[in-house]
A and B are shown apart, each in its own frame.
Chain A
Amino acid sequence: MSDMAPDAKLVAAETQAVLKTSNAVDGGQVANRSSGTKKALFYTMLVIFALTYIFPFIIQLVTSFKTNSDADKHPLNLVPQPFTTGAIERLFQTNFPMWFFNSVWVAVIVTLARVFFNSMAGYALARLKFRGREALFTAILAVMSVPGIVLLLPKFLALKYFGIYNTPAALVVPLMCDAAGVFIMKQFFESIPPSVEEAARIDGAGTLRTFWSIVLPMAKPALITLTILSFQGSWNELGHFIIATDKENLYTLTRGIASFTTGGLGSGTEFPIKMAGALIMTIPTAIVFIVFQRFFTQGANAGADKG
Chain B
Amino acid sequence: MSRTKSGDPMRQPAAGWLFVTPMIVIVGLFLVVPIFMALWVSVSNWSGRGTPFGGNTQFIGLKNYSDLLTRQGLARQDFMMSLRNTFYYVIGVVPLQTVLALLLAVLVNQKWLKGRTFFRTAFYFPSVVSSVAISLVFLYLFAGSGAVNAMLSWMGVHGPNWFQDPRGLIHLAGDGLGLWDMNKPPSGLADTKIMNLSLWEWVKGPSVAMSAIMFQVIWTTAGTFMLMFLAALQDLPTEVEEAAMVDGANARQRFWNVTVPHLRPTIFLVITLGIIGTWQVFDQMYVMSKGGPAKTTLTPAYLSYQAAFESQKWGRGAAMAFLLFLLIFLMTQAQRWLLRDKDEAAAKKVAKAQAKAAKKAVAA
A interface residues, how many (CB within 8 angstroms): 121
- B73 close to A (CB within 8 Å): no
For the complex, what is the distance from the CA of A194 to the CA of B321, rounded to whole Å?
43
Q: In the complex the two chains form, is B37's CB within 8 Å of A161's CB?
A: yes
Alpha-carbon gap, A242 to B274, bound state (A): 24
CB–CB A153/B308 < 8 A: yes
Given A1-B280, A239-B282, A274-B136, A146 and B35 touching (CB < 8 A)?
A: yes
Which of A27, A49, A158 contacts B234, CB < 8 Å? A27
Q: Could you show 17 A-B contacts with beta carbons less than 8 Å apart?
A: A20-B234, A42-B110, A46-B108, A57-B125, A59-B140, A75-B141, A121-B22, A147-B279, A149-B324, A152-B282, A176-B26, A271-B143, A274-B139, A274-B140, A279-B133, A286-B125, A286-B128
A30-B242, A147-B280 known; A59 vs B141 contact (CB < 8 Å): yes
Q: Is the CB of B151 within 8 A of A76?
A: yes
Binding stretch for chain A, among B7-15, B173-181, B341-349, B353-361: B7-15
- Give every chain A residue within 8 A of B325 (Cβ-Cβ): 146-147, 150
Once the chains are docked, how many angstroms separate the CA of A72 from the CA of B224? 32
Which of A6-14, A81-89, A90-98 forms contacts with chain B? Answer: A6-14
Q: Which residues of A contact B241 (CB under 8 A)?
A: 30
Are A14 and B227 in contact (CB-based, < 8 A)? yes
Name the one of B17, B37, B138, B328 contacting A158, with C-beta atoms under 8 angstroms: B37
Docked-complex contact B130 and A235, CB < 8 angstroms: yes
B238 contacts partner chain A, Cβ-Cβ < 8 Å: yes
In angstroms, how far is the closest chain A Cβ from the Cβ of B107? 5
Minimum Cβ distance to chain A for residue B179 (Å):
33
Interface residues of B in 271-306 (CB under 8 A from A): 273, 276-277, 279-280, 282-283, 286-288, 290, 301, 304-305
Given A1-B280, A10-B277, A140-B27: 16 more A-B contacts, CB < 8 Å: A17-B231, A21-B231, A25-B117, A34-B251, A42-B113, A46-B113, A50-B118, A53-B126, A57-B137, A143-B31, A150-B322, A152-B282, A153-B304, A157-B34, A179-B31, A261-B135
Q: Bound state CA distance, A63 and B139, in angstroms?
A: 13
Residue A106 at the chain B interface, CB threshold 8 Å: no
Chain B interface mostly helix, strand, loop or mixed? helix
Give the Cβ gap from A136 to chain B, nearest Cβ, in Å. Answer: 6
CB distance from A183 to the nearest CB of B (A): 11
Q: Is the Cβ of A25 less than 8 Å from the Cβ of B123? A: no
Residues of A within 8 A of B132 (CB): 236, 238, 253-254, 257-258, 278, 281
Let me know if A54 is at the binding interface, CB within 8 A. yes
**Contact between A17 and B227 (Cβ–Cβ < 8 Å)?**
yes
**Does the CB pair B309–A63 fall under 8 Å?**
no
With the chains together, A60 CA to B129 CA distance in Å? 13
Q: Contacts A50-B122, A153-B308, A173-B30 given; indicate if A73 touches B145 (C-beta within 8 A).
A: yes
Of A28, A162, A176, A206, which is in contact with the most chain B CB atoms at under 10 Å from its CB? A28
Give chain B residues whose Cβ lies under 8 Å from the Cβ of A156: 308-309
In angstroms, how far is the closest chain A Cβ from the Cβ of B258? Answer: 10
Q: A9-B273, A59-B140 are in contact. Are A28 and B238 (CB under 8 A)?
A: yes
Instruction: Indicate whether A260 reaches chain B with its CB closer than 8 angstroms.
Output: yes
Interface: B109 (CB within 8 A): yes
In this assembly, does B228 line the interface, its C-beta being within 8 Å of a C-beta of chain A? yes
Chain A residues with CB below 8 A from B150, complex form: 75-76
Q: Does B4 contact A (CB under 8 A)?
A: yes
Produce 1/0 per residue, B203-236, CB < 8 A to A: 0000000000000000101011001101100101
| B34 touches which of A10, A154, A260, A279 (Cβ 8 Å) | A154
Which of B116, B120, B147 is the one whose CB lies under 8 Å from A75? B147
Top 3 closest pairs, chain A to chain B, by CB: A130-B16, A154-B34, A124-B19
Supposing A153-B305, A154-B38 touch, asked if A54 and B122 sit within 8 A by C-beta, the answer is yes
Task: Report Cα–Cα, A78/B115, bound state, in Å.
Answer: 25
- Report if A282-B111 is in contact (Cβ < 8 Å); known contacts: A25-B116, A120-B20: no
Question: Does A306 sit within 8 A of B, measured CB to CB?
Answer: no
Which residue of the partner chain, among B4, B26, B119, contacts A46 with CB atoms under 8 Å? B119
Collect the chain B residues with CB atoms within 8 Å of residue A158's CB: 29-30, 33-34, 37
Bound together, the chains give a CA A262 to CA B310 distance in angstroms of 14
Q: Are A201 and B228 in contact (CB under 8 A)?
A: no
> In this assembly, does A243 line the interface, its C-beta being within 8 Å of a C-beta of chain B?
yes
Residue of A nearest to B116 (CB): A25
| Distance in angstroms between the alpha carbons of A261 and B135 in the assembled complex | 10
Which chain B residue shows the least CB distance to A290?
B121
A52 within 8 A of B: yes
Q: Which residue of B lies closest to A256 (CB)?
A: B132
Say whether A124 contacts B20, CB under 8 Å: yes
Known contacts A42-B110, A72-B145; is-contact A157 B37 (Cβ 8 Å): yes
Name the residue on B nearest A59 (C-beta). Answer: B147
Q: Mark B86-130, 1 if CB is under 8 A from A, else 0.
A: 000000000000000000100111111100111111110110111
Least Cβ–Cβ distance between A279 and chain B, in angstroms: 8
Chain A residues lying within 8 Å of B231, measured Cβ to Cβ, are 13, 16-17, 20-21
Inter-chain CA distance A211–B231, complex, in Å, is: 32
Out of B26, B111, B301, which one reaches A29, CB within 8 Å?
B111
B317 proximity list for chain A (CB < 8 A): 153
Residue of A nearest to B36 (CB): A154
Residue among B30, B146, B245, B287 making CB contact with A258, cutoff 8 Å: B287
Selected from A2, A199, A243, A282, the residue in CB contact (under 8 A) with B283 is A2
| B298 CB to nearest A CB, Å | 14
* B342 CB, nearest partner CB in chain A, Å: 19
Query: Is the CB of B160 closer than 8 A to any CB of chain A?
Result: no
Which of A9, A143, A177, A285 touches B129 (beta carbons < 8 Å)?
A285
Minimum CB–CB distance from B144 to chain A (whole Å) comes to: 9
Asked if B41 is at the interface of the complex by the 8 Å CB criterion, the answer is: yes
B269 CB-CB contact with A under 8 Å: yes
Within 8 A of B (CB), among A1-48: 1-3, 7, 9-10, 13-14, 16-18, 20-21, 24-32, 34, 38-39, 42, 45-46
